[in-house]
A and B are shown apart, each in its own frame.
Chain A
Amino acid sequence: MAVPHGEQSSFFRIEEPIPTINAPILGDIGIFSVATTTLTTVFITFLVVMLIIKSSRAKLVPSGSQHLMEIFYELIAKFITQIVGTHEKAKKIIPYVGALMVYLIIANLLPLIPGLNSLHLTIGGEHVLLFRGATTDFNTTFGLAVAVVVMMQIVGMREQGVFGYLSHFIQIKQVIKGFRHGIGSGMSALISFMVGLIEIISEFAKMLSLSLRLFGNMFAHEVLTVILLGAFAFGVPAIWMGMGLLVGVVQSVVFVALVTVYYSLVLKKEGKEH
Chain B
Amino acid sequence: MQSILDILGTVGFNWHVALANFFNFLIILFLLQKFFFGKIGKVIDTRKEIIEKGLNQARDSEILLAQAEETKSEIIKNARKEETSILNNAHSKGAELAASLVASAESDINAKHQALKKEEEHLAEKVENAFRKKAPSLVASMYAKTLQKEMTEDENNALIARMQV
From residue B36, how far is it (CB to closest CB) to chain A in Å? 5
User: Is the C-beta of A34 less than 8 angstroms from some C-beta in chain B?
Assistant: yes
Q: Please pick, from B17, B41, B47, the residue contacting A60 in the complex, using a CB distance under 8 A.
A: B47
A53 nearest in chain B by CB position: B35
A132 to B40, CA, bound (A): 31
Known interface pairs A56-B35, A95-B38; A32-B20 also in contact (CB < 8 Å): yes
Decide if A21 touches B12 in the complex (CB within 8 Å).
Answer: yes
Interface residues of B in 78-99 (CB under 8 A from A): none
Decide if A44 touches B28 in the complex (CB within 8 Å).
Answer: yes
User: Is the C-beta of A96 less than 8 angstroms from some C-beta in chain B?
Assistant: yes
A103 to B35, CA, bound (A): 15
User: Is the C-beta of A215 less than 8 angstroms from some C-beta in chain B?
Assistant: yes
User: Is the C-beta of B151 less than 8 angstroms from some C-beta in chain A?
Assistant: no
Decide if A21 touches B26 in the complex (CB within 8 Å).
Answer: no
A73 nearest in chain B by CB position: B40
User: Is the C-beta of B1 less than 8 angstroms from some C-beta in chain A?
Assistant: no
User: Is the C-beta of B149 less than 8 angstroms from some C-beta in chain A?
Assistant: no
User: Is the C-beta of B147 less than 8 angstroms from some C-beta in chain A?
Assistant: no
B46 nearest in chain A by CB position: A60
User: Is the C-beta of B161 less than 8 angstroms from some C-beta in chain A?
Assistant: no
User: Is the C-beta of A58 less than 8 angstroms from some C-beta in chain B?
Assistant: yes
How extensive is the interface on chain B, given as a class? 35 or more
User: Is the C-beta of B103 less than 8 angstroms from some C-beta in chain A?
Assistant: no
Decide if B31 touches A52 in the complex (CB within 8 Å).
Answer: yes
User: Is the C-beta of A9 less than 8 angstroms from some C-beta in chain B?
Assistant: no
A73 to B39, CA, bound (A): 11
From residue A37, how far is it (CB to closest CB) to chain B in Å? 7
Give the chain A neighbours of B47 by CB distance below 8 A. Answer: 60
Decide if A140 touches B39 in the complex (CB within 8 Å).
Answer: no
Known interface pairs A33-B17, A60-B50, A96-B29; A143-B11 also in contact (CB < 8 Å): no
A215 to B10, CA, bound (A): 13
Give the chain A neighbours of B39 by CB distance below 8 A. Answer: 55-56, 58
Decide if B24 touches A95 in the complex (CB within 8 Å).
Answer: no
Q: How many residues of A contact B (CB 8 A)?
A: 54
User: Is the C-beta of A170 less than 8 angstroms from some C-beta in chain B?
Assistant: no
Give the chain B neighbours of A62 by CB distance below 8 A. Answer: 43
Decide if A139 touches B12 in the complex (CB within 8 Å).
Answer: yes
B38 nearest in chain A by CB position: A95
Known interface pairs A45-B24, A52-B36, A69-B40; A212-B11 also in contact (CB < 8 Å): yes
Interface residues of B in 23-80 (CB under 8 A from A): 23-29, 31-33, 35-41, 43-44, 46-47, 50
From residue B29, how far is it (CB to closest CB) to chain A in Å? 5
User: Is the C-beta of A220 less than 8 angstroms from some C-beta in chain B?
Assistant: no
User: Is the C-beta of B146 less than 8 angstroms from some C-beta in chain A?
Assistant: no
A99 to B40, CA, bound (A): 13
Give the chain A neighbours of B18 by CB distance below 8 A. Answer: 139-140, 142-143, 146
Give the chain A neighbours of B159 by CB distance below 8 A. Answer: none
From residue B63, how far is it (CB to closest CB) to chain A in Å? 27
Decide if A37 touches B21 in the complex (CB within 8 Å).
Answer: yes
Give the chain B neighbours of A60 by CB distance below 8 A. Answer: 43, 46-47, 50
Give the chain A neighbours of B31 by CB distance below 8 A. Answer: 45, 48-49, 52
Given A45-B28, A99-B36, A143-B23, list of 10 further CB < 8 A pairs?
Answer: A32-B16, A34-B20, A48-B32, A52-B31, A95-B33, A99-B28, A102-B32, A102-B36, A103-B25, A139-B14
Which B residues form the contact surface with A (CB < 8 A)? 8, 10-14, 16-29, 31-33, 35-41, 43-44, 46-47, 50
List 26 contacting pairs A-B, 8 Å CB cutoff, sorted by A.
A20-B12, A22-B12, A31-B16, A31-B19, A32-B16, A32-B17, A37-B21, A38-B24, A41-B25, A48-B31, A55-B36, A73-B44, A74-B44, A94-B37, A98-B32, A99-B32, A99-B37, A134-B21, A139-B13, A142-B13, A142-B21, A143-B18, A143-B20, A143-B24, A144-B25, A151-B29
